[in-house]
């Protein structure tokens, strides 16, 4: 019969698991505050921001797959850790291996969550607290309990079995609060400054400097040569085919000016008359890995992968939503995050990845590169309006949409 666990071990195990459970419940309540559109106490700045971590594609994937948010996993782990520690006091021989196995699983899960936080390029203070408490529990289990730090195969198997048996009812019980936790912020966005009654009023009220910029942009556009696009059929378009203003834009997924322009188009759609313009996305990745006209590469394949992912997503009814998400998360993009974004919007990842690697997609990208070359591209975004290169000046584009784009 194994000796009773040392008091120091039991105090450490009970204290750390209870504290972790309380912290996980607090995190869940904070998540509800964020989903209701209220600021979180753990959001300090752009880097120290739990909301950025909890709103990451990884966090949404966990909630979609398991039915509970990441904070719910903390609640589950804390409850099981408490129960296993209590059972350890009753039958040390039977449950010592289970407690150690549960501690090791906790450490492994922390590695996964830390990796997701790094991808989100944000620090979650309460998550750091979770990692510390998990490490304290592991210290109590693997060091203070005595015996081998890593239990043998039979003890690990038994520990996994007990962990599964205890986790199952807790997991089922958490499905109800999990299903009632919104997966995205539900509150209305903050009130915006009052806008003019319509776009014409806005344009009429432009200061002289902005009016000069608008007139310069219109002159540049009128004097630009027409681009022969007969060899480049339209693959996807947002807006009517016969819109008076037809915009073709060439973007790079990591280009900050491209992200700004995509955001501007979203604002113009709110102001412009319905059906007054359409947008045709094209791609010009600034990376020599897939664009021979560019010198230099980041070496991570993000630009080329992003262009091909968009090409392969054009048939999706949620394509323009995916595109907006890619640019909104531009600073944190890597290939895994882009796939996660596509997955959260309903993409079949196996089909998507096969398409990205296909020669047909490479050929389509080559078509866009040739089209951009024909338009004498100098940088991104390249904006064509009715077949002519145009400055990406918002007031100029709105003026065309409101007053017509004729010569």
Q: How confident is the model at residue 96 (pLDDT cuts 50, 70, 90)?
A: confident
Instruction: Tell me the per-residue pLDDT of 391-401, one tens digit each, with 9 for 90 and over.
Output: 999 999 999 99
Distance from C-alpha of 190 to C-alpha of 193, rounded to nearest angstrom: 10
* Residue 158 or residue 18, greater confidence: 18
CA-based torsion, 161, 165, 167, 172: positive or negative: positive
Q: Which helix (H) or strand (E) holds 384?
A: strand 382-385
Which range, of 121-130, 250-259, 296-305, 345-354, averages the lowest pLDDT?
121-130
Cα 59 → chain centroid: 9
Task: Kindly report the average pLDDT of the chain as a whole number.
Answer: 87
Flag whether pLDDT at 40 surpasses 70: no
Q: Which residue has the tokens 């509970």?
A: 68
CATH 1.20.1440 domain span(s) along the chain: 7-179
Per-range mean pLDDT, top range of 1-5, 119-123, 159-163, 279-283: 279-283
Enclosing H/E stretch for 137: helix 125-139
Question: In the CATH hierarchy, which fold is given to the domain comprising 7-179?
Answer: de novo design (two linked rop proteins) (1.20.1440)
Does the structure show a pLDDT above 80 at 94?
yes
Query: Which pLDDT value is given to residue 93?
Result: 82
Residue 371 · residue 282 · CB < 8 Å = yes
C-alpha distances in Å from residue 140, one per residue of 167, 254, 356:
21, 46, 48
Worst-scoring range by mean pLDDT, 191-200, 257-266, 274-283, 342-351? 191-200
User: Could you read off the pLDDT of 46-81 as tens digits, one per residue?
Assistant: 456 676 677 777 888 888 889 999 888 999 999 999
Structure tokens at 291: 């664009």
Q: By percentage, how much of the chain surpasses pLDDT 70? A: 90
Concatenating the DSSP letter of every residue in 332-396 gives: G--HHHHHHHHHHTT--HHHHHHHHTSHHHHHHHHHHHHHHHHTT--SSSEEEETTEE----HHH
Rounded to an integer, the average pLDDT of 341-358 is 93
CA dihedral 60, 64, 68, 74 (to 10 degrees): -50
Block residue for tokens 């909630």: 63
pLDDT at 351: 95
How far apart are the C-alpha atoms of 113 and 70, rounded to whole Å? 9
Is the pLDDT assigned to residue 402 strictly greater than 60? yes
For 160-207, write each residue's pLDDT tens digit: 888 888 999 999 999 999 888 876 654 444 444 444 457 888 888 889
Which of 10-24, 198-212, 313-327 has the weakest average pLDDT?
A: 198-212
Please tell me the CATH superfamily of domain 199-403, with its number. Glutaredoxin (3.40.30.10)
Cis peptide before 11 (omega within 30 of 0): no
What is the Cα–Cα distance from 13 to 84, expressed in whole angstroms? 10
Residue 193 vs residue 364, higher pLDDT:
364
Among residues of the chain, what percentage have pLDDT more than 90? 54
- Max CA-CA distance within the chain? 94
- The mean per-residue pLDDT over the stretch 251-256 comes to 94
What is the pLDDT at residue 41? Answer: 67
pLDDT on residue 187: 43
């Amino acid at each position: 019969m194994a000796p009773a666990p040392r008091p120091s071990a039991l105090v450490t195990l009970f204290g750390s698991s209870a504290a972790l459970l309380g912290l996980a419940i607090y995190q869940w309540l904070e998540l509800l505050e964020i989903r209701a559109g209220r600021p979180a106490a753990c959001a300090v700045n752009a880097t120290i921001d739990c909301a950025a971590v909890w709103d990451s594609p990884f966090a949404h994937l966990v909630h979609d797959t398991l039915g509970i948010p990441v904070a719910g996993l903390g609640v589950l782990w804390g409850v099981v850790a408490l129960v296993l520690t209590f059972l350890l006091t009753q039958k040390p021989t039977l449950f010592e291996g289970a407690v150690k196995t549960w501690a090791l699983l906790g450490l492994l899960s922390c590695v996964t969550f830390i990796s997701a936080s790094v991808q989100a390029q944000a620090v979650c203070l309460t998550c750091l607290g979770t990692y510390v408490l998990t490490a304290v529990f592991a210290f109590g289990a693997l060091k203070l309990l005595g015996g081998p730090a890593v239990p043998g195969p039979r003890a690990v198997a038994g520990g996994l079995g007990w962990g599964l048996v205890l986790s199952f009812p807790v997991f089922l019980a958490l499905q109800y609060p999990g299903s009632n936790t919104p997966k995205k912020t539900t509150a209305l966005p903050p009130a915006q400054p009052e806008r003019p009654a319509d776009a014409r009023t806005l344009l009429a009220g432009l200061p002289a400097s902005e009016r000069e910029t608008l007139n310069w942009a219109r002159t540049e556009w009128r004097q630009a040569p027409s681009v022969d696009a007969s060899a480049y059929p339209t693959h996807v378009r947002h807006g009517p085919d016969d819109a008076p203003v037809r915009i073709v834009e060439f973007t790079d997924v990591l280009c900050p000016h491209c992200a700004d322009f995509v955001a501007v188009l979203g604002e113009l759609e709110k102001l412009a008359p319905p059906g007054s313009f359409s947008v045709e996305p094209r791609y010009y990745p600034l990376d020599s890995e897939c664009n021979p006209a560019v010198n230099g590469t980041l070496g991570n394949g993000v630009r080329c992968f992003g262009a091909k992912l968009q090409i392969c997503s054009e048939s999706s009814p949620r394509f323009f939503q995916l595109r907006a998400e890619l640019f909104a998360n531009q600073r944190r993009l890597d290939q895994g995050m882009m796939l996660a974004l596509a997955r959260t919007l309903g993409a079949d990842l196996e089909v998507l990845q096969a398409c990205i690697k296909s020669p047909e997609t490479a050929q389509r990208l080559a078509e866009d590169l040739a089209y951009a070359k024909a338009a004498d591209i100098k940088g991104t975004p390249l904006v064509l309006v009715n077949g002519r290169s145009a400055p990406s000046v918002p007031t100029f584009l709105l003026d065309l949409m409101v007053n017509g784009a004729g010569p």
